[in-house]
Structure 1
């Protein structure tokens, strides 16, 4: 009987560990930090360390909304990536969003997003060197601003339907890898930007944001290295030196994460950077 006690203790510890890992995939049992919470879904494949896509929801969204994007989530997990969905902080009206501008106030989301990744590294053995930051709409604005401030925080950046606000930063840090996706018919975040709040806020021009990234990356010319059509996608890419790659995907339709996006960005993440010059 005495020999069984250590064995039973070990089994109990393993069971608790497995339960803790599984307990972060619903809103009720989300992983909690002092400053917020997140949900995570792990891939079925086993690896020494698992790379992750940290995906930031849009204004008024939540981690649950991200996890409900089943095609996107499955597109990542079947390729061996964990999906981490942090919850934005609730504002004065109870709406979740991201504080990427000082005038928004609230939680320090630049620190919080990086703390989420650090927590997932400890709890789930996520690979910090190959994890990337993605986001939609307000989450995509947050992606751009964090990339501008701290490009080394993530291996790459994947904003969908969001860039910078006016006045946009005059300069950013670099180098980095960034894949920007935007809908041609987006009216929530139009390519040319729009005025909000009676003139208090101005969404920036996506084209101007791309110019800022080209300047940041030290691209020799504003003309792309490659222009190609991939079905109904209009693609452009700039390869501007070691660790400095910019790809722009213009898709038909409006304010959404486009179909097949997860597979395309994983292909891009795992491709030889030289392929960007040929549209490969």
Structure 2
């Protein structure tokens, strides 16, 4: 795999270094002025354009948008980045905030931006661990949902099955850890930004595969604490333990 595969991870690390926003409540309604860059830089076998193409795919009756660099040929696999938003946010806002739309062209990968389910107070969430963030104990199988989306991207849109990276923030970071536990065999790497895994790791995390994990956490985070804590009746481990 090319070193360009890891560029989205470096993007995330630079974003963390520059400081995470204090709230995810704000939504950007207009994402129309995305800045696309030309990636005709000789890295890939295809002469990609600076236009993007999108496809709507579906799993478990829930849609998600797959963004691809212009000129992507499905029989020429590219890495797949799955962006998992935080509580109350959305896939599109999360990807915009992390500059992942630009990264599609600059680093030549596919980008999947799913949304979590909407709870009864109108907030999107992922049913990740017992600590975050299924507030109302709704039966929602997000693992199967994400697995289905990844499978479609691989089978139908030229995503590299050996190049699947999950990048999650906050509740999305918890979900990336959940996927590493439950579907580790289909994931190459996860990037967890200010989230955590299961507190009772040995019992709650089945060994389905061992993807690479990059865990990044702010030491003064007062919501998901660096040293571990509890939320919604569940506990989560410290960042070093995660």
TM-score calculated relative to the size of structure 1: 0.58
Using the TM superposition, give the Cα deviation of residue 45 of structure 1 relative to its aligned residue in structure 2, in angstroms: 6.2
* Greater mean deviation of Cα atoms: 157-166 or 84-93: 157-166
Using the TM superposition, give the Cα deviation of residue 168 of structure 1 relative to its aligned residue in structure 2, in angstroms: 4.3
Report the counterpart of residue 178 of structure 1 in structure 2: 213
Which of 92, 116, 134 is 1:88 aligned to?
116
Which of 37, 40, 53 is 2:63 aligned to?
37
Secondary structure of the corresponding residue to residue 69 of structure 2: coil
Instruction: Decide whether aligned partners of structure 1 residues 72 and 188 sit closer, same or farther in structure 2, where only a CA change above 3 A counts.
Output: farther
Cα separation, 2, equivalents of 1:154 and 1:165 = 18
Give 5+ residue unaligned stretches, structure 1.
1-20, 25-29, 210-280
Using the TM superposition, give the Cα deviation of residue 176 of structure 1 relative to its aligned residue in structure 2, in angstroms: 2.5
Cα separation, 2, equivalents of 1:154 and 1:124 = 17
Cα RMSD (Å) of the superposition? 2.5
Q: Which structure shows the bigger proportion of residues in helix conformation?
A: 1
> Which has the larger Rg?
1
Instruction: Decide whether aligned partners of structure 1 residues 23 and 54 sit closer, same or farther in structure 2, where only a CA change above 3 A counts.
Output: closer
Report the counterpart of residue 161 of structure 1 in structure 2: 194
Secondary structure of the corresponding residue to residue 112 of structure 2: strand
Instruction: Decide whether aligned partners of structure 1 residues 67 and 127 sit closer, same or farther in structure 2, where only a CA change above 3 A counts.
Output: same
Greater than 6 Å deviation, 4+ residue runs? none
Instruction: Decide whether aligned partners of structure 1 residues 182 and 130 sit closer, same or farther in structure 2, where only a CA change above 3 A counts.
Output: same
Higher relative contact order (CA 8 A, sep 6+): 2
Secondary structure of the corresponding residue to residue 179 of structure 2: helix
CA contact (8 A) 1:43 1:78 kept: no
Using the TM superposition, give the Cα deviation of residue 73 of structure 1 relative to its aligned residue in structure 2, in angstroms: 3.0
Cα separation, 1, equivalents of 2:157 and 2:210 = 28
Q: Does 1:114 align with 2:142?
A: no
Give 5+ residue unaligned stretches, structure 2.
1-51
CA contact (8 A) 1:134 1:159 kept: yes
Which of 165, 180, 184 is 1:147 aligned to?
180
Cα separation, 2, equivalents of 1:35 and 1:152 = 24
Deviations 1:67-100 (A, max 9, x none): 3226233234311111111111112222111112
Deviations 1:16-39 (A, max 9, x none): xxxxx9454xxxxx4333431212
Which of 29, 51, 55 is 2:83 aligned to?
55
Report the counterpart of residue 190 of structure 1 in structure 2: 225
Secondary structure of the corresponding residue to residue 107 of structure 2: coil
Which of 95, 105, 113 is 1:67 aligned to?
95
Aligned length: 182
